[in-house]
Amino acid sequence: MKKSFLIFIVCTLLSGCGNQEKEQGRSQEKVILTVSAAASLKNTLNDIEKSYEAEHKHVDIKFNYGASGALAQQIMSGAPVDIFFSAAQDKVDDLVKNKTVDKEDTKSLLKNHLVLITEEKLTSLDDLQQEKIKKIALGNPELVPAGEYGKQALENKKLYQKVKSKLVLTKDVRHVLTYVETGNTEAGIVYTSDLKSTNKIKHTLKIQDDLHKPITYPIAKIKDTKHKKETEELYQYLQNAQSKKVYQKYGFDINGKE
């Protein structure tokens, strides 16, 4: 009888330990947050990811980088995303109209500028008409905000139709950078922040801000996130003073600050 009782006690203790280990295992499982972000933010957000995950060890951030227009379409089609960080206000506005995002859960956070990058030195956008410029890389204006802004600048300079046959449309702004770095095109239009990720660009020419719509980067929480607490914490962290220093380090301006 005593032997049977001892066996019962041991089994009960072992069972309790097993359940405790299972509970600990569950508590150690990381919350995965998915952030869809403009390709131009890649280096910046990769830096912020390291500091955030060091402070929030229960969170694993997964980034989906691409053209803001394509990312917005994915989200509206039901892609499981927690936060959207766009390179254009209208892409977030589309999500608000689609009722995927509440307007109060958005914030216009950053500003950027356009720059023409070239193999040979040019003195103005008009020089894109020169014979030596055979191909110009530009993000697809239908999906890539940098391409949309670039098209506006060329149109306002009465150049778009004149150089249209030279345009090589890319799927995001980082591909424009690569095309010029590798010599596949003689010129391209990117953001000034993109220059922070390369030392292979020979010449740059700043494009006037008044030639295109203001370049702003809004951030938004997706309404149907399954991790509301963790999403809110990351959403706020991406706007804090520490993160703003990282954005500035990579060539972005803080919106609302001159």
Residue 68, marked binder: yes
Residue 138: pLDDT over 50? yes
Domain segments of the chain: what residues? 28-111+216-254, 114-211
Question: What is the C-alpha separation between 197 and 98, in angstroms, rounded?
Answer: 34
Q: Could you say which of 1.10.10.10, 3.40.50.620, 3.40.190.10, 3.90.45.10 is the CATH number of the domain covering 28-111+216-254? A: 3.40.190.10
Residue 173, marked binder: yes
Identify the pLDDT of residue 4. Answer: 53
Class of domain 114-211: alpha beta
Q: Which amino acid is at 10?
A: V
Q: In Å, how far are 24, 173, 203 from 165, measured between CA atoms?
A: 62, 19, 23
Identify the pLDDT of residue 1. Answer: 46
Instruction: Read off the pTM.
Output: 0.84
In this structure, are strands 216-221 and 83-85 parallel, antiparallel, or unpaired?
A: antiparallel
Identify the pLDDT of residue 28. Answer: 63
**Segment 158-213, tens digit of pLDDT:** 999 999 999 999 999 999 999 999 999 999 999 999 999 999 999 999 999 999 99
- Domains 28-111+216-254 and 114-211 alike in fold: yes
Question: What is the C-alpha separation between 149 and 98, in angstroms, rounded?
Answer: 24
User: What average pLDDT does range 235-256 have in this prediction?
Assistant: 96
Question: What is the C-alpha separation between 220 and 205, in angstroms, rounded?
Answer: 32
Residue 102: pLDDT over 70? yes
